[in-house]
Chains A and B, each alone.
Chain A
């Protein structure tokens, strides 16, 4: 089946080569970081997690969001999603692999990463996170492989596959919940110490993920002959709308609790994020851009006339995705460290090394998704012509 990946148009190959070049740059940057130490990043004694861990967190959400197409199709027998479940699962595979790479490049001693498995520590949420992510990858590989294989052979998928698919649904929820627990269980970091963190992670995941899927489907329609039809896209748009509303609701709860209670431990983090603290305004413009994008997206999604217009829907999906990426991929992690537990207001901004490595990991994810989508579409096309 995978041989389909090796035959393609000129455009396909050009795209792959561009991605490979970016990946190559990332490998070089990583080698530099590996030999110099993590000092070449923007992280410091006070801000010990930065862009890498933030991307990891964001992408766990993208991975988990596959459940938003799997669940309606397999549990509610929503047939229109039949064409896109495989796209969701393949996207999840790409996202999980990116997650793992982001953890890997963030380690001070990446070669020792096996220690996590040699000395399993159930006390540590990081242990559970690696377990759940690994399991989720395996589940999605199995599910997508067998469904596609059976589709190709024109037979019904084996009976045992259904329970595996059903298992993947709570599993998807678990990966992002455990990722939230990584943060929300730390008494040292009041900004993260919030029970609404896990629900909010899920809400952001289930809006940014389907928004990305909408964009991918529309892109596929444009550059290939593969058309999922407008029904499933509208369904995805509705899922995105609800999840985005929930996300904003949860965010307002956080802000209310933090600011109205006036507890300095909580309030100062929000102050840093939205208004700047002690002369550090690093994230302020970003957070307001994110806010404006969120408002624009909600207007476009909530008014049926706009939502049904696919051109505007593209804008809506973009704004949702970007708004959440800024919130999770830039703001959420770093703000946990600013101000520091000793009341200092350190600064953090990713360096070119971090940017290059991150870009390369995203390129690799795109490469994986491209190749997998190519395989899926080729199988479908063959079926039609036979």
Chain B
């Protein structure tokens, strides 16, 4: 029901935007419009993370390194300016208020991989005053770094702390520049994009590919024969804060 309402709002938004902006402005900003790719229609990308497998490889940061290297994520070395697209967090922080008194040490101590949930019902998208963050048809919650005004409303609205803001000039803090991916400017928000640029080339997300124990499964939930669909049907999985109605698309095997 809430999805219907949101869709309705989005349509209203679209109509109003088209009406108010007028043809001319639209053509002037055609470049921006072109960036707003709608993705793969009929698909619904999701990720499953098998933490048991992940924990086999203690201290491994391959997925994090791969992601941050691929996407020119700057490293500031302090918590205040920190930018991260994917990171590890203890269970009590990943699944707040869900820890029982007596839990297996393995669950309690071992980290959980976190990144943007690409929520089906993303609050970050509804609040953005410029549509600089939007939801593609295939479920990816995207960012337009050329349009973002840096109001950080999306960061206030995200219940998962998935978004980072460029508090300082990021370009001087990139360890090793990847010329194939854009860098950002200071004053804009960024986050995981499910490697949309790799998906477009038929590749899997960088983190998935880099994992030596295959703890991450990426796939299309609309396809009943996809590996992720099968696994979701076989094993009990958890999502973060499902009670908020955001419908996260990242599933965890604990």
Which residues of A come within 8 Å of B, CB atoms? 36-39, 43-46, 48-49, 103, 106-110, 112-113, 115-116, 118-127, 130, 182, 186-189, 264-265, 336-337, 340-344
Q: Which residues of B contact A44 (CB under 8 A)?
A: 79-82, 167
User: 1/0 per residue B1-23: CB within 8 Å of A?
Assistant: 00000000110110011001100
Known interface pairs A44-B167, A115-B147, A118-B21; A342-B13 also in contact (CB < 8 Å) = no
Beta-carbon contact of B17 and A119 below 8 Å = yes
Selected contact of B17 from candidates A37, A121, A187, CB within 8 Å: A121
Known interface pairs A39-B168, A187-B244; A120-B16 also in contact (CB < 8 Å) = yes
Determine if B126 is an interface residue (Cβ-Cβ < 8 Å).
Answer: yes
State the Cβ distance, A275 to closest chain B Cβ, in Å. Answer: 20
Beta-carbon contact of B29 and A118 below 8 Å = yes
Known interface pairs A115-B132, A115-B149; A120-B168 also in contact (CB < 8 Å) = no
State the Cβ distance, B100 to closest chain A Cβ, in Å. Answer: 14
**Can you list the 3 inter-chain pairs with the closest CB atoms, starting with the nearest?**
A108-B150, A108-B187, A39-B167
User: 1/0 per residue B154-189: CB within 8 Å of A?
Assistant: 011111110011111100000000000000011111
Q: Which of B45-53, B91-99, B215-223, B225-233 has 4 or more CB atoms under 8 Å from chain A?
A: B91-99
Known interface pairs A108-B148, A120-B17, A124-B128; A37-B186 also in contact (CB < 8 Å) = yes
Selected contact of A126 from candidates B150, B153, B160, B245, CB within 8 Å: B153
Beta-carbon contact of B127 and A126 below 8 Å = yes
* CA–CA, A112 and B132, complex, Å: 12
Selected contact of B97 from candidates A119, A125, A130, A265, CB within 8 Å: A265
Beta-carbon contact of A37 and B167 below 8 Å = yes
User: 1/0 per residue B79-114: CB within 8 Å of A?
Assistant: 111110000010011101100000000000000000
State the Cβ distance, A264 to closest chain B Cβ, in Å. Answer: 6
User: What residue of chain B has the Cβ atom nearest to residue A45's Cβ?
Assistant: B82
Determine if B213 is an interface residue (Cβ-Cβ < 8 Å).
Answer: no
Q: Which residues of A contact B246 (CB under 8 A)?
A: 187
A116, A127, A186, A188 interface centre (most CB from chain B within 10 Å): A188
Selected contact of A336 from candidates B156, B188, B241, B244, CB within 8 Å: B156
Known interface pairs A48-B152, A107-B150; A126-B96 also in contact (CB < 8 Å) = no
State the Cβ distance, A57 to closest chain B Cβ, in Å. Answer: 13
Beta-carbon contact of A37 and B156 below 8 Å = no
Contacts A49-B152, A116-B130, A116-B149 known; 20 new A-B pairs at CB < 8 A:
A38-B186, A39-B81, A39-B168, A107-B187, A109-B185, A115-B130, A116-B129, A118-B21, A119-B132, A120-B17, A121-B17, A121-B128, A122-B12, A123-B10, A123-B125, A123-B127, A186-B156, A341-B96, A341-B161, A343-B93
Which residues of B come within 8 Å of A, CB atoms? 9-10, 12-13, 16-17, 20-21, 25, 29, 79-83, 89, 92-94, 96-97, 123, 125-132, 147-153, 155-161, 164-169, 185-189, 241, 244-246
Q: Which residues of A contact B16 (CB under 8 A)?
A: 120, 122
Selected contact of B93 from candidates A49, A107, A189, A342, CB within 8 Å: A342
Beta-carbon contact of B17 and A188 below 8 Å = no
Q: List 18 A-B contacts (CB under 8 A).
A: A38-B165, A39-B81, A45-B83, A48-B165, A108-B165, A110-B149, A115-B132, A120-B17, A123-B125, A126-B127, A126-B151, A126-B153, A130-B129, A186-B127, A186-B157, A265-B97, A342-B160, A343-B97
Q: Which residues of A contact B82 (CB under 8 A)?
A: 44-45
Selected contact of A108 from candidates B20, B128, B149, CB within 8 Å: B149
* CA–CA, A343 and B112, complex, Å: 15
State the Cβ distance, A372 to closest chain B Cβ, in Å. Answer: 29
